[in-house]
Amino acid sequence: MTILHARRLLASALLLSFATLSHAQDWAKARLDTSPRHHEYVPLKHGSRTVQAFVVYPEVKTKAPVVVLIHEIFGLSDWAKEMADELAAQGFIVVAPDLLSGFGPNGGGSSEFPSQDATVKAVSALDADVVTADLDAAADYAKKIPAGNGKLAVVGFCWGGGKSFAFATHRKDLSADFVFYGPGPADVTPITAPVYGFYAGNDSRIGATLPATTAAMKAAGKKFEPVTYENAGHGFMRAGEDPNNTVPGNKTAREQAFTRLVSLLQQMKSAPVASSSAASSLKEGQREDQSGTLAKSAPAIVACHDANSTRHAAASM
């Protein structure tokens, strides 16, 4: 009985270990471990809350723009941190807040959850106001980094793509906003920064929201440049560099989208620093379009993952 009990304990431990590793990305971690760039974790405090942020510095001589990176519904994963490192390699400081900080087991963050499914559930349950406050803390910190040049952009992926789009309605000092396969917000009229979209051709759930978002942005006189990458699926930026990817379109889309992202960020370097007082004198929630008429609001936001799509996304990880 003692041997049988020991075997059962060992089996349970192995199952727990496999569950923990099921959402790990060893290939991304390996790239992080060999990166020459400086990585650090910074506690960002606002009110009674502390958010841990992963910060990466480029190896450059001059001050650099800062990018706030919003992770997928899978939390601040090894891939999200590796993506931050890749952007830093292109000459940008990157601040990637762990929006699950304090919500994990024993008060931990993304790395403390025992499985991918548990992480997805936790991210799905985050309060939108708390997320906005966390992102504000990250943006405020980014603006004060001594090595930063005052330019601030936000990039988000999947769930983070929707949050990135929504954050552009709240934050007036963004120089650019980048949305990867995320839905548009309910009201686009407060947006002041140019928004660049990256969408997958084989992602009808998010793709179906794109025409209405495009129309709303146009009606509001906002700059919105969406590009759809054919033969790619939702999450192609991660899937496209995963060695286990079996969809050629994901890899092609990932390469093309990354080149476009870096090119747009490079253009941001020569743009003037955005002012936090960029909002017009119209009432909150109203902006005039180019013809002088009040713009219409976009349709209600569609969550990046509902109960069914989270299971689909987790299966494709």
Question: How confident is residue 2, by pLDDT bands cut at 50, 70 and 90?
Answer: low
Q: Is the pLDDT of residue 310 over 80?
A: no
More reliable by pLDDT, 316 or 121: 121
Residue 188: both structure tokens together: 């686009």
Q: Is 65 in contact with 148 (CB distance < 8 Å)?
A: yes
Of residues 288 and 244, the one with the higher pLDDT is 244
Cross-strand pairs, 253: none
Look at residues 228, 232, 168 and name the one whose alpha carbon lies nearest to residue 198.
228
Return d(Cα 39, Cα 25) in angstroms, integer: 18
Name the residue type at position 208: A
Neighbours of 47 (CB within 10 A): 8
Bigger pLDDT: 278 vs 158: 158
Tell me the CA end-to-end span of the chain in Å, nearest whole number.
Answer: 39
Q: What is the pTM of this model?
A: 0.82
Contact of 230 with 259, CB cutoff 8 Å: no
- Nearest 5 degrees, angle CA 264-CA 266-CA 267? 65
- Asked whether residue 297 carries a pLDDT value surpassing 50, the answer given is no
Beta-carbon contacts of 143 under 8 Å, excluding residues fewer than 6 positions away, are: 66, 150, 152, 173
Reply yes or no on whether the pLDDT at 287 is more than 60.
no
pLDDT of residue 276: 64
The full 3-state SS of 246-258, as one line of letters, equals CCHHHHHHHHHHH
| Residue bearing the bigger pLDDT, 115 or 12 | 115
How far apart CA 188 and CA 43 sit, in angstroms, is 31
CA dihedral over 195, 200, 205, 208, signed as positive or negative:
positive
pLDDT value of residue 237: 98
What DSSP state is assigned to residue 112? Answer: G
Per-residue pLDDT at 171 = 97
B/e letters for 87-126, b = 16+ CB within 10 Å, e = fewer, are bbbbbbbbbbbbbbbebbeeeebbbbbebbebbbebbeeb
**Predicted local distance difference test score (pLDDT) of residue 15:** 36
Measured distance CA(55)–CA(146) in Å, rounded: 13
Closest-CA residue to 30 (of 241, 259, 303): 241
Residue percentage of the chain with pLDDT more than 70: 79
Each residue's pLDDT tens digit, 20-79: 333 459 999 999 999 999 999 999 999 999 999 999 999 999 999 999 999 999 999 999
State yes or no: pLDDT of 5 exceeds 70.
no
Lowest mean pLDDT among 9-13, 107-111, 167-171, 272-276: 9-13
Predicted pLDDT of residue 273: 82
pLDDT over 80 (residue 148) = yes
Q: How confident is the model at residue 272 (pLDDT cuts 50, 70, 90)?
A: confident
Query: What's the pLDDT at 277?
Result: 53
Taking only the tens place, the pLDDT of each residue in 17-28 is: 333 333 459 999
Q: Which two tokens stand for residue 301?
A: 């936001």
- The helix or strand, by DSSP H or E, that contains position 57, with its residue range, turns out to be strand 49-57
179-234 residue pLDDT tens = 999 999 999 999 999 999 999 999 999 999 999 999 999 999 999 999 999 999 99
Number of H helices, E strands in the chain: 11, 8
Mean pLDDT (the chain, rounded):
85
Lowest model confidence (mean pLDDT) among 38-47, 159-168, 250-259, 278-287: 278-287
> For residue 309, is pLDDT > 70?
no
